[in-house]
Structure 1
Amino acid sequence: MITAQIEVSGLAKRIGDVEAVRDVTFVAAPGRVTGFLGPNGAGKSTTLRILLGLARSDSGTALIGGRRYAELPDPTGTVGAVLDLAGAHPAMTARGHLRAYCALGGHDAGRVEAVAELTGMSEYLDRRVGGFSTGMRQRLSLATALLGDPAALVLDEPSNGLDPAGIVWLRTFLREFAAKGGTVLISSHVLTELQHGIDDLVLIDRGRTTWSGPLDAFTARGTSLEEAFLELTSGVESSPVPTATATPNATEGIRA
């Protein structure tokens, strides 16, 4: 597997009269699972959309493997993304959906069976998507993201709709993906689950990065991820935030 570090620097984006993002900077390193957290409206979705070439920033950069998404020679072979549930037509089978995306991305059709096995979907390939549960749609979305055998995964709320066994499966899968040198950037509101599944944490609030570093540094004061998150995001904007020690795989903590 090739490696693809995600680097976001000084990102800013105004939507109408709203500064959706005004100063977001962080690194998601290969071999690490990085959690991307923030309250509703903090700018997470806008940042991810810019990273994946779905929106343009007003300033700053968002790079995957040193390039903007639009400049990647093999976009879906470099980064696999899940921003929404699989948008397959309800009358299509999962196999038909995956084959269509293989054709669009220029990937070998044999990847359909491979990603179905990876995501536990093999027995559902010939079922119509319209009959899938939310959890099965999540698995189909992840399978679609994996078709290009990417070096990085960018996932927004990937555990929504998964049962407890599915959540454990997802956590294990992402850990194994990272252990092979993959980069994982995951946004989620399930803080208790993220605490068991991430190595590094990026926290944004009001469009700015307010903390970035290893998870254990963030919770070093003996609090849980949930307690520390609520403490930092419920205070006033000028409140000081913890500073992480820089490591080869994490950015240095940032003050708001």
Structure 2
Amino acid sequence: MIRCLAVDDEAYATKIIADYISKVPYLTLLGTTTSAIEALTRVQGGEIDLIFLDIQMPDLTGIQFLKLYGGKCKVILTTAYPEYALDGFEHDVVDYLLKPIAFDRFLKAAQKAFNLINLVKEQVAIPAPVVNTTIAVNNQTDYMFIKGESKNKFLKVDYNDILYIEGLKNYVSVFTSAQRIVTYQSLRDLETTLPKPPFYRVHKSYIISVDKIRMVDGNTVYIGDQSIPIGETYRDGFLGMIREAE
């Protein structure tokens, strides 16, 4: 069960989120608050797994909250202002919900949070399998550097740690066993730099590490608990590769 907190300076907005949470079996509401400072205290106490956080709030804005909370839980932003989307993703939020929030869009964001939280738990609970880390091809290195959220900040990421990569228009989210990294780059450009194998594009929005596949079922790839669709354009090539490996 994922423990949730709804934070918005308008009480009626927290009631909407609370109602939506009550309809999702794997979510449980621990409380609502109109104070970001109170929310920060509860999050730092370690009792919250997922927070639904408004951005425009007095005393402490949602973006200021993200700079202070220390990554102690997952965050889904809820706001009427789309211009803050980039700021949110640079702070590793799960999703960005624009008000008024439809329940189907809320459910999609909740499912993403569920997959991320359980993927981290799975990686902690189960020792990682021993795999061949020598994935350099044509004298390539076995790592890459990803531009961080500030100038001249770059994060070194080993290819072997990457589970999958999701495209977000002009941004990509790189999911590893320990974290999600959002950076300004197109999925197409990144695809050209990744070694093949183990990386394979299976959808217009996804590149996966074949080494990390748990199961392929029909038109879906499973990596941990994350389900990734196989796009029609990429289906024949990908399934052909899978059959050759039998």
- TM surpasses 0.5: no
TM-score bracket relative to the smaller structure: 0.3 to 0.5
Structure with the larger strand share: 2
Higher RCO, Cα 8 Å, sep 6+:
1
Q: Give the TM-score normalised by the residue count of structure 2.
A: 0.32
Whose Rg is larger? 2
Q: What is the TM-score of this pair, normalised by structure 1?
A: 0.32
